[in-house]
Amino acid sequence: MKISKIVHLRDMAQRGKESMDNGTPQVIFGLATCGIAAGGMPLKEYAEMYLDENDVHADIVSVGCIGMCHAEPLVDIKLPGKPRVTYSDMDIDKLKKILDEHLVGEEPVTELAMCQLTDEISECEHGVIAETDVYDGIPKYQDLPFFAKQIRVALRNCGIVVPEDIEEYIARGGYRAAYRSLFELTPEEIIGEVKTSGIRGRGGAGFPTGLKWEFCHKAPGDVKYVICNADEGDPGAYMDRAVLEGDPHSVIEGMIIGGYAMGATDGYIYIRAEYPLAIEKLKKAIASAEEHGILGDRVFGMDYSFRIHIREGAGVFVCGEETALINSIEGKRGEPRPRPPFPAVSGLWGKPTNINNVETWANIAMILQRGGEWFSTMGTEKSTGTKVFSLVGKVNRAGLIEVPMGIPMKDIIYEIGGGIMDGRKFKAVQTGGPSGGCIPEEHLDIPVDYDNLKTLGSIVGSGGMVVLDEDTCMVDVARYFLTFTAEESCGKCTPCRIGTRRLLEILEKICHGEGVMEDLEVLTSLSEQVSASALCALGGTAPNPIMTTMKYFMNEYVDHIENKICDASVCAAMFKSPCQNTCPAGTNVPGYIQLITEGRYAEAYDVNREANPFPSICGRVCEHPCEGRCQRAQLDEPIAIRELKRYASDEAFKAGVGKISTLDDVDKTIAIVGGGPSGLSAAYFLRRMGYKPTIYEAQEKMGGWVRYGIPKYRLPHEIIDKEIQDIIDLGVVAKTNTSVGKDITMETLLNDNDAVYLAIGAQKDTKLGLEGEELPGVLPGLQLLKEMNSGKSVDLGQSILVIGGGNVAIDVARTAIRMGTKVTVCYRREEDDMPAYDEEIEHCREEGVEYHFLVAPEKLIVEGGKVVGAVFRKNVMGDFTKWGRRSPVATDETVEIRADRVVNAIGQQLDTDFAGGMNIVGDSRWIPVEGTGSSAWFPKIFAGGDAVTGPASVIDVVADGKRAARNIDLFLGGNDRLAQLEKMNNTNYSNVEPDNAEPMQRQGVKELNADDRTCGFEEVVMCMDPECAKKEASRCLRCDLSAESEGGDE
Amino acid sequence: MATTSFKINIVIDGKDYAGEPNQTVLDVARANSVDIPTLCFNPLFPEQRIGSCRLCLVEVKAGGRPGLQPSCTMPVSSGLSVSTISDAVYQARRTVVELLLSEHVQKCRDCPVSGECQFAKLCRDYDINGVPVCAECPNQGEGCLLTRGELCLGPLTYANCNAYCTRKGYRCEGCHSIMANEDILRFGLKAYKDAGFTKEEILVAAKVFSYDSMEMLEKIMTQEGF
């Protein structure tokens, strides 16, 4: 039937509505390319079989992508008159269950359901389900965080309608705008409407579409063309594909309106052949539009003819550039042409031509239908409307989203995207593909629009948004994109053809650890030159990834060049294995794990001891950042590196360990202030290098935080004693009960020694800042912990209230509960935000500690001159900050919690008493140091550990001590004696690449059960048994070997 | 009747020039002897405006999109003002020549256009070291000083002097020092072999201005079988 009257459209709309809700139950599959890739096809086949076998009457429908690519495969079930319910992450078993229970049994499976479609967030006509028919217990679409901030204009039909079904498209208001434009509006009025809307080209450059149309409209000529640019080639971008696969008619309608407004008779859709499904849907859509008289001769029976042709491109990135695209349609080599002449004057076959991106075309019908005014109310003043982004990379909820322009980047990443995967740290978001740039954390609160991203050096581009986490090396990112552009450069102009290759060579050199600092200057100047003088946008924007990464991540470039370090463990030439690279102390992890498999525990201990004097301590309390980078995690689970370390050291202690290698004596003395892990580590390495260190410790025993801060049930004191004694035995002088600043002054130390290392820790409690804090009943957390751990008797009363959420708070709580006290812990944020280790928070709960979250102390309750509790202000979590955490917002409610004692454990500070009259700290919070760790004002003084960085983990401060030892050696004129020491250890072990890629579970460790734990201070985590340890060690993939054999290639 | 086509006035480097409607900035500049270098522009087919070598870049100061634009494809328009000598133009052109040089084989002694080499001239104009003296020497081939038995260091030495000595018939003494590019040296050394000079003779001659490069030169000579 040919449509020529508005009643025809109404008829078809009626039929479309019926086809969407026609009294037959429907099983709806999301089968765009993403759904098929996720395994949707077999599910559909299964459903067909199921209906056949069970003789169930239902329709099976395939729709496009709704955007939730993270939850695919998606299957929806719609019963007549009821909301459509979406089930995510389907497999055959789950599918059978929902078919059984929901389709046949007519009861939705609430536990599997993700959401239900009641009234949509799409900006178009749709039916609303009556409130009474809405299912209980299943969230509505618009209530999901993924959809809550979205406004769907270009994606209005994607995932909702059957893409090629013209009736369904019309039922949702489709072709009404084209009909009205042709019958009621003049071309000038249409262009006026588009100009009013303020829409800018969605392909990347952001040129005002209305203006572009006007140029083409005014250009003289009888023959004109409109082109839809569907040559989408950015890595990580698939907006155009989703629109064409999910709703091809929206693009066709936009092109009809544009063609009419500009006087074009033919339209071309230039699409890459790599999108076969999109081409198929488009062809079907064009055919059915022709059949209904919407395309072809006499559109809608009017005196206007318009045809659409599809041109398949060979997947060349440069053909996304409009003049190269025109060349390609003409059958020439896809190379850009010089502009002027602009395509609006002389484009395809020399005729005036207008080119717009898929998404721009998809918006046009809505602009004409709802008015330019409506469109311009969305977004910001200069970037109106909505924009589709493909949010991919390391976010929890990857997918296709459409948001109003001007939405803060943090909302996209943290609210829609659900934050970073696996709790990793955000590093940057890459927008605009190879032409774009990387935006770092400090700019995450910018509203996303064309101009804002440009000021940051990036671009909106076609809408690719790749989220990068801490495992990404930014030099490698720049290298990756340059590889892409150098390969895709068409070769026409000199700067792009040769310039991108030279840039790439420099980046590769840096990634291989062969870079020099001068390279950075060349990179900068060559980047500027290439972008200023290239012929087209490909070359003009190709250096953007380099320029933005250099702007925001210069430290990584410098690290790669000067220190030959790739922190993210990506550039393989710079490290042996990711675990060793990640260990702050640089422990040879694959080495000692191999030694464990060979049963050589003492040697395994020695390999550990080369890098870190406390293998046994770290085997119990290390934060094990190494496990986070373990490559085994990509197969099954990371190796239990820490537990193996403990196993090796426990075994080695049984057998007895020998002496560690040392160098000849040097007659230079070094004073070390603080006998904690950092000071001891510095003393250990300095002594081994031959220097004569003396440690000054204020407490009775050495060990500092490790002894006084970590409870015995986590770290028995025998272990600490043993490892410290080994250091003393090397010839380190330890002066305990000597407080620097009181018993001996800094000046004396400075005069009597060749260098001083300050490792004094963060020993003071941060004050609550509340009235009554000095009264009895309030206990400072650090001091309390110190007293409890040194075995002094403390009076905790019947119950205590711990304020804070860090490790101190948790350690106090766990120690107190072992003393038979009732413990309540109050924290001002949510549990996930607690800085304490996750496993300890859980242990703590198991042991009976009561938690209160989202409460901030406001007043101490004082009765009879004694504090007996506190009044807390209840918080709720507010919006995300750019750092990816929600900030607590105070409410009107308060809550009163009483206890015999209140423990303040909200934070730690530097105790500056040591300095006496010397200005070592200045106004800083921590001791300010230069890059080498030497004091900003006294070159002879070095500092490290908590006193410099704030509270840090054991392995971090051990590494600080080691670094200080090396720098002190260099300062005193040594010839990098640490490197000589490292060369001395040549323990041999088998270097045969293991064949162990078969999945094998990580071996667990046994823990005391909670009841046994609270009765005493016995170590909670038990050592692995020998069989487990051997098994676990044999899981190691020996990444160190592959790195060597590959010779550092990527 | 003779048509008096109307003129379009443009400004190049602060001076007024008149151009015809269909001319480009390059056309007007060339017609008025304003120097704009080109490589891809072919005067035999002036209508083929390729715009690919990017040497003819000029900086638009007014009357057009600001920034660097190729003059060979830019039509004249009234009010247009461009600079051919600004810093940005110089740097951009220099980068283009440098980039081309980075991929150039530089077998200057075998190249038919040596002595008249446009590229060598560009290197000199934009102060780039990288081509040997031979590229600028008109005496190559039969007139080469080496074939006449003089130990000329031209094949091994950085150019940019317009081959002043060899033009006058004196041998090149290598005062711009021996080149750092091993491939060029290797190629240049072949000429000495053909002319029958020994390793020692060459080293003694080269040592005068290039003491630091002796080790490298000696190494390459050994590899080349001197």
Provide the CATH number for the domain around residue A528: 3.10.20.600
Q: Are residues A392 and A371 in the same domain?
A: no
Q: Are residues A893 and A773 in the same domain?
A: yes
- Give CA angle at A311 (A307, A317), nearest 5°: 135
End-to-end CA distance of chain B: 75
Q: Are residues A640 and A708 in the same domain?
A: no
Question: Which tokens in the block code for residue B35?
Answer: 């120097």
- Give contacts of A 411-470 with B, CB under 8 A: none
Sign of CA dihedral A50, A52, A54, A60: positive
Sequential DSSP letters for A81-106: TS-EEEE-S--HHHHHHHIIIIIIT-
| pLDDT value of residue A996 | 79
CA nearest neighbour of B145 among B154, B157, B135: B154
* A466 Cβ contact partners less than 8 Å away, ≥ 6 residues apart: A235, A236, A392, A393, A429, A430, A431
CB of A377 within 8 Å of a chain B CB? The answer is no
Interatomic CA distance for residues B25 and B18, integer angstroms? 10
Where in A102-240 does DSSP place strands (E)? 113-117, 225-230
| pLDDT value of residue B2 | 46
**Side-chain-side CA neighbours of residue A465 (13 Å):** 27
Which CATH number characterizes residue A631's domain?
Answer: 1.10.1060.10
Q: Are residues A13 and A99 in the same domain?
A: yes
Residue span of the structural domain in which A649 resides: 578-660+986-1043
Distance from CA of A527 to the nearest CA of B (A): 10
Task: Kindly determine whether residue B68 and residue A493, on different chains, have CB atoms separated by under 8 Å.
Answer: no
Task: Kindly determine whether residue B95 and residue A338, on different chains, have CB atoms separated by under 8 Å.
Answer: no
- Choose, out of B95, B104, B122, the residue to mutate when testing the contact with A (most A CBs < 10 Å): B95
- ipTM for the predicted complex: 0.86
Q: Are residues A223 and A372 in the same domain?
A: yes
Residue A217 lies in a domain: yes
Name the residue type at position A1010.
Answer: A
Q: How confident is residue A320, by pLDDT bands cut at 50, 70 and 90?
A: confident
pLDDT at A937 over 90: no
Which CATH number characterizes residue A949's domain?
Answer: 3.50.50.60
Interatomic CA distance for residues A512 and A740, integer angstroms? 46
Q: What is the pLDDT of residues A538-586, one digit of tens each?
A: 899 999 999 999 999 999 999 999 888 888 888 888 888 889 988 999 8
Q: Are residues A340 and A393 in the same domain?
A: no
pLDDT at A823 over 50: yes
| pLDDT value of residue B34 | 93
Task: Kindly determine whether residue A494 and residue B53, on different chains, have CB atoms separated by under 8 Å.
Answer: yes
CA nearest neighbour of B111 among B144, B133, B141: B141
Distance from CA of A510 to the nearest CA of B (A): 19
Which CATH number characterizes residue A305's domain?
Answer: 3.40.50.11540
Q: Are residues A38 and A180 in the same domain?
A: no
Taking residues A589-595, what's their average pLDDT? Answer: 91
Task: Kindly determine whether residue A493 and residue B52, on different chains, have CB atoms separated by under 8 Å.
Answer: yes
Task: Kindly determine whether residue A495 and residue B67, on different chains, have CB atoms separated by under 8 Å.
Answer: no
Distance from CA of B125 to the nearest CA of A (A): 18
Task: Kindly determine whether residue B73 and residue A338, on different chains, have CB atoms separated by under 8 Å.
Answer: yes
Residue A166 lies in a domain: no
**Rg over CA atoms, chain A:** 34
The domain B8-94 is placed in CATH, from the list 3.40.50.360, 3.30.1360.70, 3.40.50.1100, 3.10.20.740, at: 3.10.20.740
Q: Are residues A792 and A831 in the same domain?
A: yes
Chain A residues touching B90 at Cβ < 8 A: none
CB of A635 within 8 Å of a chain B CB? The answer is no
Task: Kindly determine whether residue A493 and residue B51, on different chains, have CB atoms separated by under 8 Å.
Answer: yes
Task: Kindly determine whether residue B52 and residue A494, on different chains, have CB atoms separated by under 8 Å.
Answer: yes
Taking residues A254-274, what's their average pLDDT? Answer: 92
Q: Are residues A780 and A921 in the same domain?
A: no
Chain B residues touching A495 at Cβ < 8 A: 54, 95-96, 99
Interatomic CA distance for residues A701 and A374, integer angstroms? 74
Pairing of strands A464-469, A386-393: parallel
Q: What is the pLDDT of residues B16-69, one digit of tens each?
A: 999 988 889 999 999 999 999 998 888 888 777 788 899 999 999 988 888 999
Residue A980 lies in a domain: no
Interatomic CA distance for residues A987 and A101, integer angstroms? 63
Nearest CB among A340, A493, A526 relative to B95 is that of A526
Name the residue type at position A555.
Answer: N
Q: Which of A380-394, A813-827, A936-950, B132-146 has the highest mean pLDDT?
A: A380-394
Percent of chain A with pLDDT over 90: 27
Q: Are residues A303 and A230 in the same domain?
A: yes
Residue A159 lies in a domain: no
Residue A974 lies in a domain: no
- Give contacts of A 488-507 with B, CB under 8 A: 492-495, 498-499, 502
Task: Kindly determine whether residue A494 and residue B96, on different chains, have CB atoms separated by under 8 Å.
Answer: yes
**Rg over CA atoms, chain B:** 22
Residue A13 lies in a domain: yes
Distance from CA of A503 to the nearest CA of B (A): 11
CA nearest neighbour of A806 among A618, A1017, A951, A926: A951
Q: How many domains does chain A have?
A: 6
Taking residues A918-930, what's their average pLDDT? Answer: 82
Percent of chain A with pLDDT over 70: 97
Chain A residues touching B73 at Cβ < 8 A: 338, 340
| pLDDT value of residue A930 | 81
Q: What is the pLDDT of residues A163-199, one digit of tens each?
A: 888 888 888 888 888 888 888 899 999 999 999 999 9
| pLDDT value of residue B1 | 42
Chain A residues touching B57 at Cβ < 8 A: 533
End-to-end CA distance of chain A: 59
Question: Which tokens in the block code for residue A63?
Answer: 């729709």
Distance from CA of A557 to the nearest CA of B (A): 23
Q: What is the pLDDT of residues A627-680, one digit of tens each?
A: 888 888 888 888 999 989 999 998 888 888 878 888 888 888 999 998 899 999
Q: Are residues A844 and A823 in the same domain?
A: yes
Distance from CA of B55 to the nearest CA of A (A): 9
pLDDT at A475 over 90: yes
Task: Kindly determine whether residue A338 and residue B49, on different chains, have CB atoms separated by under 8 Å.
Answer: yes
Chain B residues touching A534 at Cβ < 8 A: 54
User: Which of helix, strand or coil describes residue B8?
Assistant: strand
Residue A161 lies in a domain: no
* Residue that has been written with the tokens 């003494």 in this structure: B173
Alpha helices in A353-494, H assignment, sequence order: 358-370, 372-377, 409-410, 450-455, 474-488, 494
Of A446-460, A908-922, B179-193, the one with minimum mean pLDDT is: A908-922
- For chain B, where do the domains classified as CATH 3.10.20.740 start and end? 8-94
Residue A162 lies in a domain: no
Chain A residues touching B23 at Cβ < 8 A: none
Distance from CA of B193 to the nearest CA of A (A): 34
pLDDT at A1050 over 60: no
Q: Are residues A309 and A400 in the same domain?
A: no
Asked whether the beta carbons of A369 and A40 are under 8 A apart, the reply is: no
Q: What is the pLDDT of residues A770-812, one digit of tens each?
A: 888 888 888 888 888 888 877 777 888 888 899 988 888 888 8
Q: How are the residues of chain A apportioned to helix, strand and coil, as percentages rounded to the nearest 5?
A: 45, 15, 40
Q: pTM for the full model?
A: 0.84
Asked whether the beta carbons of B13 and B34 are under 8 A apart, the reply is: yes
Task: Kindly determine whether residue B67 and residue A494, on different chains, have CB atoms separated by under 8 Å.
Answer: no
- Give contacts of B 21-50 with A, CB under 8 A: 49-50
